Amino acid sequence: MSKTSEEARPVRPPDPHPSGARPPAIPPELVPRHVALVMDGDGRWAKQRGLPRTEGHKEGESSLLDVIMGAIELGIPYLSAYAFSTENWRRHPDEVRFLMGFNRDVIHRRRDLLNEMGVRIRWAGRRTRLWRSVIRELEYAEQLSAGNTVLTLQFCVNYGGRAEIADAAAAIAAEVAAGKIRPDKIDERLFARYLDEPGIPEVDLFVRSSGEQRLSNFLLWQSAYAELVFLDTLWPDFDRRHLWHACEIYAGRERRYGGAVPNVISDSGVS
């Protein structure tokens, strides 16, 4: 039997936080299985400092790496990062070009470290319009890390929740037209198999930085029952401690999925 990449080599532990902070003592059953991250606030962070927006994006790279390490420390098995949306093409062409090259270079720079830490990288998003060099880096990172099991990091690049749902519907329609699927057999379980990464579980905790309180077309299907936490911190100032704080908020919430427990009504004093 062949060994997985993690059995064949030691896994590098995450670097400790510079402050010495340690993850909170959240019971394992209350740690979110899948956390979705909207990394918002790069532009405002740069504007506050009189810098171009691109400097905010650069600063945000270290924030993501620190959050990944914090997720590993806390025992979160799945993390999704919104790196470039289908709507981001509307930005100024100079910023789009920067983001394309930046996403490519971040994956190239960090893939070996992430692989050493046992991180499996997956890519969700459309190939259309995406630079070929970006696709090559994403696909190589997926292949390199395929055997890792410590944490699955889903990079959402050229991704949109509505686009993902529309693409899944189109694929199912093609299967129906080909006689491979009966229309009366289409249900939520079948539909989910046609999403970009059907092997990744639904989102438990949806976290957005910068104080904005929107989903912004991110993992719409997967976040149907996610707990939403919006933090005021701009993304370049965000680190693993903010992730842990969001997880503490999550652990304190009651998730009922549409169900409810009957109210206990005391009959004391009732004649």
> Catalytic one among 40, 42, 196, 239?
40
φ, ψ dihedrals at 266, nearest 5°: -75, 140
Active site residue 115: no
d(Cα 96, Cα 92) in Å, to the nearest integer? 6
Spatial contact of 125 and 87, defined as CB atoms under 8 Å apart: no
42 is catalytic: no
For helices 93-116 and 132-144, the axis angle rounded to 10 degrees is 10
Provide the token pair at 249: 């908020």
Read off φ and ψ for residue 214, nearest 5 degrees: -140, 155
Pairing of strands 119-124, 34-38: unpaired
Instruction: Name the catalytic one among 66, 88, 167, 232.
Output: 88
Q: Where are the alpha helices (DSSP H) in 9-131?
A: 42-48, 53-74, 93-116
Rounded Cα–Cα distance for residues 74 and 243 (Å): 10
8 Å CB contact between 209 and 242: yes
Residues belonging to the active site: 40, 88
